[in-house]
A and B are shown apart, each in its own frame.
Chain A
């Protein structure tokens, strides 16, 4: 039995970026304390039923975990470690933003065993960041890396967004060049303009021009080439890592491994059941005050849904879909049931089948959705 992953959501930011539709709020110490108390109650409610579970990753994400008051994260971690079973040498990631990171924060994280930092860089070009309402300077990024280096902390990941308004290929390249020298792992996400965000409004009001699909694709292809050249291998559409530095935690999502979510709007996948907590902060706190789990949605996956997920998630990875395992699990030989589609996709050079794995060809990862749609 594979060990499980654990995700904890910290829904606070110093300021929300214009493109963000994640569950996060700009709130002070009082609310943070209330939230921590609620989290602790959630852990208490869950720990008994999860006593037999073994975890090998812990991921504290957000929001911005680095904005909460000093002591929050260590109190949380202590509660987690005293409640659940973690393997030796488990992967422990904390997301931080350069503008709320400090030696003091790192000291706190190191003390509780954090061994991986995910740094939200997004871009190093001030103008690009300003246009999407992200208050962050290159100096702050440099400072964050300086702190990490001073502490000999090397297992660093950085997030980059491509396709931002006003972004140029040159800007993307220089951001990457800077990060390649300082990180082991880089995630590159294409900007998605979500509904009900200031970004969407600005685009609708013609204050900003979104990048075309062609432009974003050009950036992505260029990103892939640069990272490849410098020893970062793509193991998922958006994730690149040096040998041995792939994110164990994120891989669980794509490999169908179970994970437990804690906190506001966190998602869990246990025993073939997917469920998630409410997005509403007040409801989350109130429910837990009443010792009730704040679950908003639960679904037990049907065979058909599991099948769809398998195709959908596997094809996002460089390994691709294990056809023999698929046949064994779903009693379906995809090369027969989807023979026509596979033939067509192969003719278009969009997929290959090698050694029993069906994968998207390396230059066509950004068509993943359409390709998955043909096969699912």
Chain B
């Protein structure tokens, strides 16, 4: 039985690179949860992509023991993914906590994701513990950062911890603040079981494992539990806590954080946000806030080498085991052959998955231009959800179209304000508000169509602001829009993999850019190839690849036939790997290049 007064459940929220993971490591070190030498090993285990980008996608929670004023406290650190794509997951992790450490980099101040994440924490009624990090940097402005937190977020910073997670300075003050300021969990272990799944993963021995916060009741091995959203029940095979490795325990009770395994085959049965209760003695109402993970960004994924389709299929299956939020269905493209239409929580999620396919599964893949989900209404009033341009009904039958829009917040030093505002309006952004964070920095709020930011918006923001601006967005609904489907015709035949849905004002420029790019990547053929961008039968841009004029090895000197034959065999091999589109042959790499197109 756990003493609730000795438990603290908290998370850390921060902007990318402000030191969240480093602080988490220091806390584990200071509480002797992990020895320093194990720490680096543990860090290496996490995904390369996370490490390279300095972001955490998934990090196991950690239960730490901390002695303070003669008492031993159990501190449960629940990590949250640090990106807007995962804001639903973040909200569920926050719902499992009573408090949040807000980490702000003293040299950079409050950033877009600081705000986004802290607002989520405030929405979840968490106690916020401000921590000013990186105070050892020469450019650190501790007083200024505190003032910013007070002014912009409205959290008093008199008692804020001033630390350097890197050097370990004042780490103990953070642990003390957690004990002192984060409220102890409330709960009644005599009530029926009520547990929140805030994350889940697949373990090849235990099956799908749910990470849970127990709100009421208790759970032990042998209990028959019910997942209230999926309405499926299982018999518990193991419960335990993360120390940080999964360590079995006899039972978990109200207030505690840990895991439940029940020989569940699919992670899709352990949905984040679902409530677990006992089958025989259930609670009446599940916890609030459950949502189905919905895909926001879509793209086609094809193997670069058509023969690798099965491997791609297997790889996606494996990824899906651990990430129920990936959706994929089989798709066939005339140009690219067999592949998959995949749905993701957002752009970063898409990038992570495609990178994992390449790195962990060693697959070369072609991804088609990212798309969003459009709502198309035909003349009969019927609604179509279109995520793949090739599925769009013909222009004549469409009465109107809607596209998803986001509320975009950008924080930028004022020097780059002009450039960023130009970019936003170029991307059909509608200006809402501008707030001054301090003398130098400004927060901009726009409503923007999602399809304008799925290409390279973030890269553009970074390049305009030399890396100083930060952005964050959330979906805010649908708006009617003048959208058109643009097809690319090669030698008179539609290349389905290159079709896109685009705003009609942008179509001309996009069409021209695509045609120009295609002209540079399609090799000359024995015949002339017209490249056309077409909207509803009307050609809006055209380029021509003239026929090859000369392809000859003039001399066969001294009877060196071998060299010639080998060259020919090499070219023959190259030809085999080409993608065929009717009469036109394209190197697979050409698709990759074309689809990387930025406006």
- The chain A residues found within 8 Å of chain B, CB to CB, are 5, 7, 9, 22, 61, 189-190, 192, 213-214, 216-217, 220, 237-238, 250, 252-254, 259, 261, 265-269, 274, 276, 297, 299, 305, 308-309, 312-313, 316, 344-345, 348, 350, 365-374, 376
Could you tell me the distance between the alpha carbons of A314 and B559 in the complex, rounded to whole angstroms? 14
Stretch binding the partner chain, chosen from B18-26, B75-83, B235-243, B565-573: B565-573
Say whether A274 contacts B554, CB under 8 Å.
no
Say whether A269 contacts B568, CB under 8 Å.
no
Could you tell me the distance between the alpha carbons of A309 and B569 in the complex, rounded to whole angstroms? 10
Say whether A266 contacts B562, CB under 8 Å.
no
Q: Which residues of A contact B559 (CB under 8 A)?
A: 5, 7, 252-253, 259, 261, 266-269
Say whether B551 contacts A266, CB under 8 Å.
no
Q: Which residues of A contact B564 (CB under 8 A)?
A: 312
Q: Which of B551, B558, B568 contacts A61 (CB 8 A)?
A: B558
Q: Is B37 an interface residue (CB 8 A)?
A: no
Closest CB in chain A relative to B572 CB, distance in Å: 6
16 extra A-B contacts, CB within 8 A, seeds A253-B556, A369-B568, A373-B572: A9-B558, A189-B554, A250-B556, A253-B559, A261-B559, A267-B562, A269-B559, A276-B560, A308-B568, A309-B561, A309-B565, A350-B526, A367-B526, A372-B568, A373-B571, A374-B526
Q: Which residues of A contact B554 (CB under 8 A)?
A: 189-190, 192, 237-238
Q: Which residues of B contact A7 (CB under 8 A)?
A: 558-559
Q: Which residues of B contact A369 (CB under 8 A)?
A: 551-553, 568, 571
10 A-B pairs with the lowest CB-CB distances in the bound complex, closest first = A213-B550, A369-B551, A267-B559, A189-B554, A370-B551, A190-B554, A366-B550, A217-B550, A213-B549, A217-B549
Could you tell me the distance between the alpha carbons of A312 and B569 in the complex, rounded to whole angstroms? 11
Known contacts A213-B549, A348-B526, A376-B572, A308 near B555 by CB under 8 Å: no
Could you tell me the distance between the alpha carbons of A369 and B583 in the complex, rounded to whole angstroms? 18
Q: Is B527 an interface residue (CB 8 A)?
A: yes
Q: Is B557 an interface residue (CB 8 A)?
A: yes
Q: Which residues of B contact A238 (CB under 8 A)?
A: 554-555
Known contacts A308-B565, A308-B569, A373-B572, A265 near B549 by CB under 8 Å: no
Q: Which residues of B contact A213 (CB under 8 A)?
A: 548-550
B-side interface residues, number (CB < 8 Å): 25
Q: Which residues of B contact A267 (CB under 8 A)?
A: 558-562
Q: Is B575 an interface residue (CB 8 A)?
A: yes
Q: Which residues of B contact A268 (CB under 8 A)?
A: 559
Q: Which of B549, B550, B568 contacts A373 (CB 8 A)?
A: B568
**Could you give 12 example pairs across A and B, Cβ below 8 Å?**
A7-B559, A237-B552, A265-B558, A266-B559, A267-B558, A274-B562, A299-B562, A313-B561, A366-B551, A367-B549, A367-B552, A373-B572
Task: Give the residue among A252, A299, A370 with the most B Cβ atoms within 10 A.
Answer: A370
Q: Which residues of B contact A372 (CB under 8 A)?
A: 568
Could you tell me the distance between the alpha carbons of A220 and B550 in the complex, rounded to whole angstroms? 10
Could you tell me the distance between the alpha carbons of A21 and B116 in the complex, rounded to whole angstroms? 65
Q: Which of A220, A297, A365 contacts B562 (CB 8 A)?
A: A297
Q: Which residues of A contact B551 (CB under 8 A)?
A: 366-370
Q: Which residues of B contact A376 (CB under 8 A)?
A: 568, 572
Q: Which residues of B contact A368 (CB under 8 A)?
A: 551-552
Closest CB in chain B relative to A196 CB, distance in Å: 15
Say whether B548 contacts A370, CB under 8 Å.
yes
- The chain B residues found within 8 Å of chain A, CB to CB, are 526-527, 548-562, 564-565, 568-569, 571-572, 575, 583
Could you tell me the distance between the alpha carbons of A344 and B580 in the complex, rounded to whole angstroms? 15
Q: Which residues of A contact B552 (CB under 8 A)?
A: 190, 237, 365-369
Could you tell me the distance between the alpha carbons of A216 and B575 in the complex, rounded to whole angstroms? 25
Could you tell me the distance between the alpha carbons of A114 and B565 in the complex, rounded to whole angstroms? 32
Q: Which residues of A contact B571 (CB under 8 A)?
A: 369, 373
Q: Which residues of B contact A22 (CB under 8 A)?
A: 557
Could you tell me the distance between the alpha carbons of A274 and B559 in the complex, rounded to whole angstroms? 10
Could you tell me the distance between the alpha carbons of A368 and B571 in the complex, rounded to whole angstroms? 13
Of chain B, the residue at the smallest CB distance from A316 is: B556
Of chain A, the residue at the smallest CB distance from B559 is: A267
Closest CB in chain A relative to B552 CB, distance in Å: 5
Closest CB in chain A relative to B285 CB, distance in Å: 67
Could you tell me the distance between the alpha carbons of A299 and B575 in the complex, rounded to whole angstroms? 24
Q: Which residues of B contact A350 (CB under 8 A)?
A: 526
Say whether B583 contacts A269, CB under 8 Å.
no
Of chain B, the residue at the smallest CB distance from A9 is: B558
Say whether A266 contacts B558, CB under 8 Å.
yes
Closest CB in chain B relative to A16 CB, distance in Å: 15
Q: Which residues of B contact A366 (CB under 8 A)?
A: 549-552
Closest CB in chain A relative to B156 CB, distance in Å: 66
Q: Which of A217, A305, A371 contacts B565 (CB 8 A)?
A: A305
Q: Which residues of A contact B568 (CB under 8 A)?
A: 308, 312, 369, 372-373, 376
Q: Which residues of B contact A189 (CB under 8 A)?
A: 554-555
Closest CB in chain B relative to A351 CB, distance in Å: 10
Say whether A344 contacts B562, CB under 8 Å.
no
Say whether A373 contacts B558, CB under 8 Å.
no
Could you tell me the distance between the alpha carbons of A267 and B557 in the complex, rounded to whole angstroms? 9
Q: Which residues of A contact B583 (CB under 8 A)?
A: 344
Could you tell me the distance between the alpha carbons of A365 and B526 in the complex, rounded to whole angstroms? 12
Closest CB in chain B relative to A284 CB, distance in Å: 15
Closest CB in chain B relative to A208 CB, distance in Å: 19
Say whether B526 contacts A269, CB under 8 Å.
no
Could you tell me the distance between the alpha carbons of A252 and B549 in the complex, rounded to whole angstroms? 28
Q: Which residues of A contact B553 (CB under 8 A)?
A: 192, 369
Q: Which residues of B contact A309 (CB under 8 A)?
A: 561, 565
Could you tell me the distance between the alpha carbons of A374 and B555 in the complex, rounded to whole angstroms? 20
Could you tell me the distance between the alpha carbons of A265 and B527 in the complex, rounded to whole angstroms? 39
Could you tell me the distance between the alpha carbons of A305 and B569 in the complex, rounded to whole angstroms? 9
Q: Which residues of B contact A190 (CB under 8 A)?
A: 550, 552, 554
Q: Which residues of B contact A254 (CB under 8 A)?
A: 556
Could you tell me the distance between the alpha carbons of A308 and B572 in the complex, rounded to whole angstroms? 10
Could you tell me the distance between the alpha carbons of A373 and B583 in the complex, rounded to whole angstroms? 15
Could you tell me the distance between the alpha carbons of A216 and B548 in the complex, rounded to whole angstroms? 13
Could you tell me the distance between the alpha carbons of A261 and B552 in the complex, rounded to whole angstroms? 25
Closest CB in chain A relative to B191 CB, distance in Å: 75
Q: Which of A261, A274, A370 contacts B558 (CB 8 A)?
A: A261
Could you tell me the distance between the alpha carbons of A370 and B550 in the complex, rounded to whole angstroms? 9
Of chain B, the residue at the smallest CB distance from A59 is: B558
Of chain A, the residue at the smallest CB distance from B560 is: A267
Could you tell me the distance between the alpha carbons of A374 and B565 in the complex, rounded to whole angstroms? 14
Q: Which residues of A contact B556 (CB under 8 A)?
A: 250, 253-254, 316
Say whether A370 contacts B526, CB under 8 Å.
yes
Q: Which residues of B contact A9 (CB under 8 A)?
A: 558
Could you tell me the distance between the alpha carbons of A65 and B37 in the complex, rounded to whole angstroms? 73
Could you tell me the distance between the alpha carbons of A77 and B551 in the complex, rounded to whole angstroms? 38
Closest CB in chain B relative to A296 CB, distance in Å: 11
Closest CB in chain A relative to B549 CB, distance in Å: 5
Q: Which residues of B contact A192 (CB under 8 A)?
A: 553-555
Of chain A, the residue at the smallest CB distance from B567 is: A369
Q: Which of A61, A214, A269, A370 contacts B561 (CB 8 A)?
A: A269
